[in-house]
Amino acid sequence: MIKELDTVVLSQDLPEHGLKQGDIGAVVHSYKEGKAFEVEFITGKGDTVAVVTLNSEDVRLMQDKEILHVRKLQAA
User: What are the domain boundaries of the chain?
Assistant: 7-61
CATH of domain 7-61: 2.30.30
Can you give the pLDDT at residue 71?
Answer: 93
How far apart, in Å, are the Cα atoms of 54 and each of 17, 60, 61, 70, 72? Answer: 12, 11, 13, 22, 23
Can you give the pLDDT at residue 76?
Answer: 58
**Per-residue pLDDT reduced to its tens digit, 10-65:** 999 999 999 999 999 999 999 988 899 999 999 999 999 999 999 999 999 999 99
Say what the pTM is.
0.91
> How far is C-alpha 19 from the chain's CA centre?
9
2, 11 Cβ separation under 8 angstroms: no
